[in-house]
Structure 1
């Protein structure tokens, strides 16, 4: 099946120019990709002039309005039928496209997607999942990264199933390793919700994952686990801490290399290594977070992504469609033991 992907051309820091350029790069790598660009028709047509080979594989759907970067989710919902973001997600709902990609307001995209597409049967809440760089050859899948501030045990089990399905598609693992983020690795550590979720995952047979208990935040980047599961509050804090640490390390290296003549000479000698580090930490190489658990594929591109980053987000959307992410999640949901939320067990 040729994936046809809706692109919110007006989202992100740069807008139509970079979104169209990213789609063009993705189609250069995968000739079968088809696109529906949603947004200001004049701007999209102007951007397409630089990519004539893309025009034959594209259609334009004019949108009168744009979701602003600072719009509250409630505001975005009210006007969603006229915005490029809302119309792109609406095209997924109608079946006109296979997936949608937007670099716009994350909270607005989550709210619009959840209202339009609803959650899959057996999923209580969608989760935001992304690939994060590690010390190993493959990235780690981490979720939830901010869609749900509070989660019960059943949410964590569902996130584990969705994250494992995502990992199988993106990395080709038959049984990805899965761990829950905790304050310690011992069985007795953490909240009641974590304990209940861990027990349920341990006792469920037939799941396409290898559940290995708990991990701590300092192990996120080691590459020793394929999927790390947590609530959106903890996940978002962990993500921002990792991003800040990466910036700190690169800025510190830059400052150190410029501190003296000897340091500058040392930089020239070590430049191949520093360039490799820069490439490994470049967020554009890991761009494309996905809202798992919806009745459709919606991918969130970073707002500051360049054309390479947008192309990666498009490719993530296409792979999830081509490898039937919704069907994979549904299959494993049918295998999991019934998990009662912690709130109910406390009564």
Structure 2
């Protein structure tokens, strides 16, 4: 896989340089054509690189010792976009020094910097944060928006659906992904006016590369019955946190149950293959790498607590989106939607 290099914010995340460099090195062991621009404190990055000889000759360092704080307000971080490791990583994409940026830092700050530097694509009002979630089937489900926009009207939701379907075709290989809107019920009369209007527009759009299946309730998100779940950022973030909390609850409950007595410990040894499979399936590192869709460039958000394996997965997500040209895929689908409506989407990239 030969790709433009990936800018890595080496200072972001809970553990910073060590894990970010180790994750990039792991990704390169899997794909030896990967090239990196490592942004952060040069001394610390060079020290971390000593443990990863496979990164020699594949990495350039862009020195920067200013870091965006995890609880820093996006408006404040935005004023330091030209001096922080996060801002410089995103700006490298804008300037063409890198094809994509990966950061495990402050989500709000990363969105603000990305939107300012890269701007939204023509025909997209707002970018959306999309992520992969595990299901009972072999494939993951894509969900968006997960917090970039606290509210969304029908037009936004339709655009989110187009972007999510394009993403699903890349990561899951589905020709026509099953797309549904998150709602409080599956009946056509349920939900807000925006949801009902968006459903009507998607139902009427026969030329899109998706299969719109109406509404889905939150308890069905992980069943494997849908490929793309579309919602506003407020509801999406709540649903995501509830799913993550439920996964941790199940894991902790099993740990408590299996250590409560000698018999339970014996039972754990017998059932260990099954519990290890469950642990693997629920491990967020295996699904790490949320994407800001709708920008004129690729930016991937790694979870702040991600391990090196999680960071490697985020890097691979960025590479996959570059390889399959996610931006042009979305643009083509938006053009098809505009033709069906009899309208050509306006260029709103400068707004």
TM-score bracket, shorter-length normalisation: over 0.9
Partner of 2:185: 184
Cα distance in 1 for residues equivalent to 2:31 and 2:65: 31
Q: What secondary structure sits across from 2:82 in the alignment?
A: helix
**For each residue in 1:175-211, what CA deviation from the matched residue of structure 2 results, as whole angstroms up to 9, or x when unmatched?**
1100000000011110100111011111112111000
Q: What secondary structure sits across from 2:296 in the alignment?
A: coil
Q: What secondary structure sits across from 2:336 in the alignment?
A: coil
TM-score w.r.t. the length of structure 2 is 0.96
- Residue 92 of structure 2 corresponds to residue 121 of structure 1: no
Cα distance in 2 for residues equivalent to 1:269 and 1:191: 49
Asked if 2 retains the 8 angstrom alpha-carbon contact of 1:3 and 1:32, the reply is no
Partner of 2:92: 91
Could you tell which deviates more after superposition, 95-104 or 63-72? Answer: 63-72
Q: What secondary structure sits across from 2:176 in the alignment?
A: coil
Moved over 2 A (4+): 337-340
Asked if 2 retains the 8 angstrom alpha-carbon contact of 1:70 and 1:105, the reply is yes
Partner of 1:263: 264
Q: How many residues align?
A: 340
Q: What secondary structure sits across from 2:252 in the alignment?
A: helix
Q: CA deviation at 1:3?
A: 2.9
Could you tell which deviates more after superposition, 215-224 or 199-208? Answer: 199-208
Cα distance in 2 for residues equivalent to 1:55 and 1:111: 33
Partner of 2:277: 276
Partner of 1:330: 331
**For each residue in 1:216-256, what CA deviation from the matched residue of structure 2 results, as whole angstroms up to 9, or x when unmatched?**
00001101100000000000000000010001111111111
Cα distance in 2 for residues equivalent to 1:212 and 1:176: 10
Partner of 2:346: none
Partner of 1:233: 234
Cα distance in 2 for residues equivalent to 1:152 and 1:95: 33
Asked if 1 retains the 8 angstrom alpha-carbon contact of 2:90 and 2:117, the reply is yes
Q: CA deviation at 1:260?
A: 1.3
Q: What secondary structure sits across from 1:228 in the alignment?
A: strand
| Change beyond 3 A, Cα 1:124–1:339 | farther
Asked if 1 retains the 8 angstrom alpha-carbon contact of 2:3 and 2:322, the reply is no
Q: What secondary structure sits across from 2:214 in the alignment?
A: strand
Unpaired runs of 5+ residues, structure 2, are 344-351
Asked if 2 retains the 8 angstrom alpha-carbon contact of 1:85 and 1:102, the reply is yes
Unpaired runs of 5+ residues, structure 1, are 341-347
Q: CA deviation at 1:2?
A: 1.8
Q: What secondary structure sits across from 1:134 in the alignment?
A: coil
Q: CA deviation at 1:338?
A: 4.2
- Residue 255 of structure 2 corresponds to residue 254 of structure 1: yes
Cα distance in 2 for residues equivalent to 1:249 and 1:3: 41
| Change beyond 3 A, Cα 1:339–1:274 | farther
Q: What secondary structure sits across from 1:19 in the alignment?
A: helix
Q: What secondary structure sits across from 2:142 in the alignment?
A: strand
Cα distance in 1 for residues equivalent to 2:279 and 2:307: 15
Equivalent runs, 1:143-162 vs 2, <5 Å: 143-162=144-163
Cα distance in 2 for residues equivalent to 1:295 and 1:339: 25
Asked if 2 retains the 8 angstrom alpha-carbon contact of 1:3 and 1:322, the reply is no
Q: CA deviation at 1:53?
A: 1.6
Cα distance in 2 for residues equivalent to 1:303 and 1:28: 22
Partner of 1:8: 9
Q: CA deviation at 1:339?
A: 10
Partner of 2:347: none
Cα distance in 2 for residues equivalent to 1:127 and 1:12: 21
Partner of 1:20: 21
Partner of 2:219: 218
Asked if 2 retains the 8 angstrom alpha-carbon contact of 1:204 and 1:335, the reply is no
Partner of 1:285: 286
| Backbone CA RMSD of aligned residues | 1.1
